[in-house]
Chain A
Amino acid sequence: MVDFNFSPFRTTRILQSEIQEFLDAVSMAILAYQEGMIAYLKEGWLEASEEKLQQISSYESRGDNLRTHIGLTLYTEMLLPDTAADVLSLLSDLDHLADRMSGHFTLVGIEKPEFPADCNGAIIDFICHACSAMEHTVAASRIYFRDPKAVHDQIHKIHYHEQEAEKIAIRLLKSIFAGNYPLERKCHLRDHLLHIDQLANQADEAGDALAIYAVKRSV
């Protein structure tokens, strides 16, 4: 049977829900990464961590597909002619965050870095700040689509969490390198801390770009 479900609003409606779904996928990947990392620090690599890895990978893969489809639709349907590039760039930045989280958590599962127990509290804080920076970037992105003037209210929170993450990262690195561990372990831990710090930095960069997109969207 032929489907006559034609509506001039259909594409817009579908695209809006896809963007929403994409942002949800990134946000859930952040939550899963945070829980997975904290669980690993507290209990080591158990079944729960494996489950979190599966979750993050699945959100990341769903995000990839959605981003590709959104980009194709925007260009083939000639939607958002003046902001399509900004929207795609924003989605791409968020997708990279999901990719990086998935990549790092996979590495944690393979390499199982041994963080010193006395640093666990600080590392959890570090992860929480990095994840908060990413969460606020996603929140700012949601706001961008409806109220670009309010994006600024989120940007300073991203900066705050990124700076806090940076401070803790430096403190942790100093403490690890001052400790009595073999050099290869110090370097191994440094790599993982830098991975987490990169998440916060990338969220901050995405936030800065978003602030510019929001200014460009003024009438």
Chain B
Amino acid sequence: MLWLSMPSSGPYSMINLDFFIFLSSGLFLGWSLGSNDAANIFGTAVTSRMLQFRTAAILCALFVIIGAVISGAGASHGLGKLGAVNALAGSFTVALSAGLTVYTMTKWGLPVSTTQAVVGGIIGWNLFSDSPTDMASLSQIAGTWVASPILGALFAWLIYLGLNSLINLVKPHLLWLDHWTRLGLILAGVFGAYSLGANNIGNVMGVFVSSSPLRDIQIGELFSLSGPQRLFLWGGIAIAVGVFFSRPVMITIGKGIVPIGPLGGWVVVVSQALVLFIFSSSSLQQFVIGLGLPPIPLVPVSSSQAVVGAVCGIALARGIKGLRQIRWWELGKIAVGWISTPISAALICYIMLFIVQNVFEQQVFIAL
């Protein structure tokens, strides 16, 4: 047993090392998410040499952690409605199966979303533990998978046209345009990193929330962290560490986006960040409800798919010429991923839960 934490209930408390062993699969998932998805945020800025990799990685890591701790609860709660994995070994297995699915599908060159893999893992756990799957939540989550690239395209289309009109109106000098683009890429990247942390922390740590032994802590007079926030801090740190390994992916993604140019890249990052923000901001959800509109579901969405949507949005804004540039086959593969990823993850999770329960003799669910 190790002395690792200070819960509110007493001066000190012991957190079993087992917890961190089980959490390792989530941390691995976080690392992998950081090393892949940071590229969506700062890829264009780094590849077009507008920003140095080190600066981009530090900013991204910092704001991913801030986003995860401050605003991570909404999307994580949305995922929790699908199924509350109530045993640590179960959470470990769900995260591991999601990680394996992402790893395998990436290796096979198939577009894959961590969100879809985690959802598949939870469904696998539900099936194994004979827990009901909330079909309303599932259809809501699946709806956001379709909505996120469409919204990404819509935002990119609007921002691209607006930006074009603004540039045509103001006609800034090339040097000033470069200056403001650089600044814009930093600000959009920071916003994107914050939104990524807030939205995707649910993928990484969402399945551990119900089974986590971490409790609230008070640091000094003003600062306090709830149990889930402490969990999100760990997840945020894992994503942040992953960000520092994202250079190769950044270069690959950036090169794919560079033909759009740094300004187009800025449009893509802002659109993607807006999509992630919409699906993770509780304040925005309350505001929409206040207007009498149906609430926006707070669930993790795929940043990569929002990026693909945004790139298509720019192509649409360019008219017929842009439409010809869209790789429809890639879009088709994404649509196939909406079905194949969760099914694969659910299947892998079901098999792994069986192994963890019967071979390693771990309790993967608590019967209610």
Question: Footprint of B on A, CB under 8 Å?
Answer: 9, 12, 15-16, 19, 78-83, 87, 144-147, 149, 217-219
B162 shortest CB reach to chain A, Å: 11
* Partner pick for A12 among B168, B175, B261, CB 8 A cutoff: B175
Q: Indicate if the CB atoms of B263 and A219 lie closer than 8 Å.
A: yes
Q: Which residue of B lies closest to A217 (CB)?
A: B174
In chain B, positions 289-311 with a C-beta closer than 8 Å to chain A are none
Q: Indicate if the CB atoms of B48 and A80 lie closer than 8 Å.
A: no
* Partner pick for B174 among A9, A78, A80, A81, CB 8 A cutoff: A80
Q: Indicate if the CB atoms of A16 and B163 lie closer than 8 Å.
A: no
Q: Indicate if the CB atoms of A16 and B264 lie closer than 8 Å.
A: no
User: What separation, in Å, do the CA atoms of A144 and B174 have in the docked complex?
Assistant: 8
Q: Indicate if the CB atoms of B173 and A219 lie closer than 8 Å.
A: no
Interface check B167, CB cutoff 8 A: yes
* Partner pick for A146 among B49, B173, B261, B264, CB 8 A cutoff: B173
User: What separation, in Å, do the CA atoms of A87 and B178 have in the docked complex?
Assistant: 13
Q: Indicate if the CB atoms of B175 and A16 lie closer than 8 Å.
A: yes
Interface check B160, CB cutoff 8 A: yes
Give the residues in chain B near A15, CB-CB below 8 Å.
175
Give the residues in chain B near A19, CB-CB below 8 Å.
175
Using A80-B178, A82-B48, A82-B49 as known contacts, list a sample of 15 further A-B pairs with CB atoms less than 8 Å apart, ordered by residue number in A.
A9-B179, A15-B175, A16-B173, A16-B176, A79-B175, A79-B178, A80-B175, A81-B48, A82-B262, A87-B174, A145-B173, A145-B174, A146-B172, A219-B167, A219-B264
User: What separation, in Å, do the CA atoms of A144 and B175 have in the docked complex?
Assistant: 11
B161 shortest CB reach to chain A, Å: 10
Question: Footprint of A on B, CB under 8 Å?
Answer: 48-50, 160, 163-164, 167-168, 171-176, 178-179, 261-264
Nearest 3 A/B pairs, CB to CB: A81-B49, A145-B174, A146-B171
Give the residues in chain A near B174, CB-CB below 8 Å.
80, 83, 87, 144-146, 217
B310 shortest CB reach to chain A, Å: 14
The main secondary structure of chain A at its interface with chain B is loop
Q: Indicate if the CB atoms of A219 and B175 lie closer than 8 Å.
A: no
Known contacts: A16-B173, A146-B171. The answer to whether A219 contacts B261 by CB under 8 A is: yes
A146 shortest CB reach to chain B, Å: 5
Q: Indicate if the CB atoms of B48 and A219 lie closer than 8 Å.
A: no
A-B contact pairs, 22 of them (CB 8 A): A9-B179, A78-B49, A79-B178, A80-B174, A80-B178, A81-B48, A81-B49, A82-B48, A82-B49, A82-B262, A83-B174, A87-B174, A144-B174, A145-B173, A145-B175, A146-B173, A146-B174, A149-B168, A217-B174, A219-B164, A219-B167, A219-B263
Give the residues in chain A near B262, CB-CB below 8 Å.
81-82
| Interface core residue of A15, A147, A218, A219 (most chain B CB under 10 Å) | A219
Give the residues in chain B near A87, CB-CB below 8 Å.
174
User: What separation, in Å, do the CA atoms of A147 and B164 have in the docked complex?
Assistant: 12
B179 shortest CB reach to chain A, Å: 5
Give the residues in chain B near A81, CB-CB below 8 Å.
48-50, 262
B361 shortest CB reach to chain A, Å: 58
User: What separation, in Å, do the CA atoms of A83 and B262 have in the docked complex?
Assistant: 11
User: What separation, in Å, do the CA atoms of A16 and B173 have in the docked complex?
Assistant: 8
User: What separation, in Å, do the CA atoms of A80 and B179 have in the docked complex?
Assistant: 8
Q: Indicate if the CB atoms of A82 and B175 lie closer than 8 Å.
A: no
A151 shortest CB reach to chain B, Å: 12
Q: Which residue of A lies closest to B167 (CB)?
A: A219
Give the residues in chain A near B263, CB-CB below 8 Å.
219
User: What separation, in Å, do the CA atoms of A149 and B49 have in the docked complex?
Assistant: 25
A153 shortest CB reach to chain B, Å: 14
Give the residues in chain B near A144, CB-CB below 8 Å.
174
